[in-house]
Amino acid sequence: MERSVLVSVHEGLHARPATQFVKLAKSFASDIEIECNGRKASAKSAVKLMLLGVKENDEATLRIDGEDAAEALSALVTFLQTPGAGDIDLKAMTSAPTSPSSRAAMPAPARGPGERPSGIAASEGTALGPVFAFFPPALDIDPAPVAAGGIEAEITRYRTALDETTGALAANKRRDGVKADDAAIIDALIDVARDDDFTAGVEAKIRSGQNAAMAVDAVGKELSASFEAMEDPYIRARAEDLRSVARQLVLTLIGRKDVTLAEMPIGAIVVADEITAWDLAKAKLSNIAGIVCRKGAATSHIAIMARAHAIPAVLGAPFNEAALKGAKTAALDGARGDVVLDPDAATAERFSTAIAREAEERAALASYRTIEPATKDGRRIEVAANLGSLAEIDKALEAGAMGVGLFRTEFLFMERKVLPSEAEQTEVYTRLAKAFAPHPVVIRTLDIGGDKPIAGVEFEHEDNPFLGWRGVRMCLERTDIFKPQLRALLKASIVGNLKILLPMIADASEVAKVRALLDECADELAAETVPMGAYELGVMIETPAAVFLADELAASVDFFSIGTNDLTQYVMAADRLNPKVADLNRTEHPAVKAAIAKAAKAAVDAGIWIGVCGEAAARLDLIPFFLENGVSELSMSSASIPRAKKRVTEC
């Protein structure tokens, strides 16, 4: 079986999406080959797959041969066509330092005379402190060859070392305080260590007579050089993972312990040639005031982890090793990429002032965690979280989410061979509702179409899937899929805070049809003596038709939620995924603002509440506009919640 697809995965198949794609491929028995940019690889090797350099908008061809080829093709095509597939928060974190809102909220200190940016701005924030020089020594590996009779024993020794090393990594993941995102990075390292290609390469070298440590070192160097030669910065940054995994394996094989960051003094600035995710996983992160490395890029795992833990970091710093090792103190500005070694008194004073100001800003934002913000004229605004899975609940609660404004249920349906059962859905929706009670939890019914298909639904080819058989249109025809979801939602309504949101509404008759189905499901459940509670029903305002019909729709539902992502693309006729029309795809465009104002007026006039759940809900420049128009709920990714709450109080 063969099929070509346009890859929609954000940023392409870099580390996390590649390992998840491989995991999915490995769940099928068939042989699976992927071809892209004129080169082919097995879809079951993460290393080979990453080296193919599959980017977003590339055409990839899948060739699948075996008994479960049809299921494999459907699942893998779905994955490749899903923008957020395998993305976790890697991308969100990667874009954090350059997002206008975050930069705006953390002004960096003015540069001193003659100061130049000295490296890559990898994680915003200012730091000043004593230097902790972290330069693990080079490994001197005994080159002694293995005798022919000892080869099998040497391979066994390698496999044992592999188990020990990945076991130690996994144990690190389970330590207290390890966040989900760090755990995902550690998983990526384990995936690299366990990659079939890595192992095959090492075992081939052992068979040719090299000892295991020499073989691991050589394969690590070869593969990391291949990664470094790649054009895509995300893929290039994976060379670091290879080096780190190879070093740990070699250390295990030669029975040595590494220098670690575990004993770092509080408040120090680590300066290093390179710090890997492995090194950082061992450190007490709250002890680290800042990071300066000669190697690394904004997309390195170290940069991602630094941002996740709000540690200021400058990578690619152009100092020689001796200068870094010789420095006693360092000052850095992670938003600018500036590093000053052994700063003079005036420079140190300037950084100290900036650090104090940042601490005040952070403290002020932290206090918003528990605040339920109101505008200056006393209107209470709900600042809620957009979620796609239960795994994101803790992060949302930590950030101070006042409920969930959008739970995208499609992630429950995608990347799997069979649809989630009614029981599974009931469990998920109930747990979600309970986690945030008494705050509201808005769950959106399945919003899926030909661009992100699911197993069990035959989507015919559509030239314009964004204008096609999707969302509520598909659900109303496939009641075998829709009714179990509605029944699960009704069962979860017993918690008392549930709101059901319908996507892609373009006509009031669609709402009437869903209501009829909900009534039918409620009758069935009542006959089965299943308890239910009250719930609200709302619609996404994301099509121009819904804007024009807003008065009529407002009369038939309990709330509106504006999907600015789709509303912008449909009002402006500018594909939200096409960078060529990004200039038109702007929510602040007067045409989009007029549409939002019209829908909001209809809601206010009808006395129903209106929220915003598209990306624009977190935009500090647009929040005043939303609130002026009567919006009372803003829903966004968890990281944006504290700043949005603060912004609300300024309006």
Site for ligand PEP in 524-543 (CB under 6 A): 542
Structure letter (DSSP) for residue 33? E
Report residue 303 as tokens: 């940069």
470 binds, among ligand PEP, Mg ion, none (CB under 5 to 8 A by kind): none
| One residue of 566, 570, 596, 625 binding Mg ion per CB under 5 A | 566
Stretch that binds Mg ion, among 36-44, 394-402, 436-444, 534-542 (CB under 5 A): 534-542
Q: Which long-range contacts (CB under 8 A, 24 or more apart) does 520-523 make?
A: 520/483, 521/483, 521/486, 521/487, 521/490, 522/490
203 binds Mg ion, rule: CB under 5 A: no
613 binds, among ligand PEP, Mg ion, none (CB under 5 to 8 A by kind): ligand PEP
Question: Which contiguous run of DSSP H or E holds residue 31?
Answer: strand 31-36
Q: According to the annotation, is 647 in a ligand binding site?
A: no
Report residue 271 as tokens: 């300066």
Stretch that binds Mg ion, among 285-293, 430-438, 560-568, 597-605 (CB under 5 A): 560-568
Q: According to the annotation, is 576 in a ligand binding site?
A: yes
Order of strands across the sheet that contains 268-272 = 120-123, 313-315, 288-293, 268-272, 126-134, 329-333, 338-341
Find the catalytic residue in 14, 36, 301, 521: 301
Sign of CA dihedral 351, 336, 363, 624: positive
613 binds ligand PEP, rule: CB under 6 A: yes
Query: Could you tell me the CA-to-CA distances from 215 to 197, 211, 246, 253 in Å, in that order?
Result: 13, 6, 10, 11
614 binds, among ligand PEP, Mg ion, none (CB under 5 to 8 A by kind): ligand PEP
CB distance 24 to 415 below 8 Å: yes
**Shortest CB 446 distance to Mg ion, Å:** 12
What phi and psi, each to the nearest 5 degrees, are found at residue 626?
-60, -45
Site for ligand PEP in 383-442 (CB under 6 A): 406, 408
Stretch that binds Mg ion, among 22-30, 338-346, 354-362, 556-564 (CB under 5 A): 556-564
Query: Could you tell me the CA-to-CA distances from 534 to 493, 497, 522 in Å, in that order?
Result: 6, 8, 11
Q: According to the annotation, is 542 in a ligand binding site?
A: yes
Site for ligand PEP in 87-146 (CB under 6 A): none
**Phi-psi category of residue 4: left, alpha or beta, with phi > 0 → left and psi -120 to 50 → alpha:** beta
Nearer to ligand PEP, 316 or 563 (CB): 563
563 binds ligand PEP, rule: CB under 6 A: yes
195 binds ligand PEP, rule: CB under 6 A: no
- DSSP of 129-168, one letter per residue? EEEEEE-PPPP----PPPPGGGHHHHHHHHHHHHHHHHHH
Nearer to Mg ion, 129 or 405 (CB): 405
CA proximity to 296, closest of 326, 330, 273, 268: 273
CA proximity to 489, closest of 462, 455, 460, 525: 525
Report residue 617 as tokens: 């809900």
Stretch that binds Mg ion, among 284-292, 329-337, 539-547, 585-593 (CB under 5 A): 539-547
Alpha carbons 24 and 2: distance in angstroms, whole number: 17
- DSSP of 315-359, one letter per residue? ES----HHHHHH-SEEEEETTTTEEEES--HHHHHHHHHHHHHHH
Nearer to ligand PEP, 294 or 452 (CB): 452
Question: Which contiguous run of DSSP H or E holds residue 95?
Answer: helix 90-95
Helix, coil or strand: residue 386? strand
- What does DSSP say about strands 329-333 and 126-134: parallel, antiparallel, or unpaired? antiparallel
Stretch that binds ligand PEP, among 123-131, 422-430, 523-531, 557-565 (CB under 6 A): 557-565
Nearer to ligand PEP, 178 or 545 (CB): 545
For 176-202, the three-class secondary structure string (H helix, E strand, C coil) is CCCCHHHHHHHHHHHHHHCCHHHHHHH
C-alpha triplet 428, 432, 437: angle, nearest 5°:
150
521 is a catalytic site residue:
no
613 is a catalytic site residue:
yes
**Shortest CB 542 distance to ligand PEP, Å:** 5
| One residue of 365, 545, 565, 593 binding ligand PEP per CB under 6 A | 565
Stretch that binds Mg ion, among 79-87, 323-331, 540-548, 569-577 (CB under 5 A): 540-548
563 binds Mg ion, rule: CB under 5 A: yes
Nearer to ligand PEP, 338 or 566 (CB): 566
611 binds ligand PEP, rule: CB under 6 A: no
**Shortest CB 564 distance to ligand PEP, Å:** 5
Alpha carbons 449 and 470: distance in angstroms, whole number: 4
614 binds ligand PEP, rule: CB under 6 A: yes
- Total residues contacting ligand PEP by CB under 6 A comes to 10
Nearer to ligand PEP, 335 or 613 (CB): 613
**Shortest CB 347 distance to ligand PEP, Å:** 45
What phi and psi, each to the nearest 5 degrees, are found at residue 59?
-95, 130
> Contact letters (x/-) for ligand PEP, 566-595, by CB under 6 A?
x-----------------------------
- What does DSSP say about strands 441-444 and 498-502: parallel, antiparallel, or unpaired? parallel
Stretch that binds ligand PEP, among 373-381, 392-400, 412-420, 564-572 (CB under 6 A): 564-572
- DSSP of 205-244, one letter per residue? HHHTT--HHHHHHHHHHHHHHHHHT-SSHHHHTTHHHHHH
**Shortest CB 565 distance to Mg ion, Å:** 5
- CA dihedral of 77, 80, 81, 84, whole degrees rounded to 10: 140
Q: According to the annotation, is 586 in a ligand binding site?
A: no
Residue with nearest beta carbon to Mg ion = 566
> Contact letters (x/-) for ligand PEP, 140-179, by CB under 6 A?
----------------------------------------
564 binds, among Mg ion, ligand PEP, none (CB under 5 to 8 A by kind): ligand PEP
List interacting residues with Mg ion (CB under 5 A): 542, 563, 566
Q: Which residues are annotated as a binding site for phosphoenolpyruvate?
A: 408, 444, 565-566, 576
Catalytic residue positions? 301, 613
List interacting residues with ligand PEP (CB under 6 A): 406, 408, 447, 542, 563-566, 613-614
Q: Which residues are annotated as a binding site for Mg(2+)?
A: 542, 566
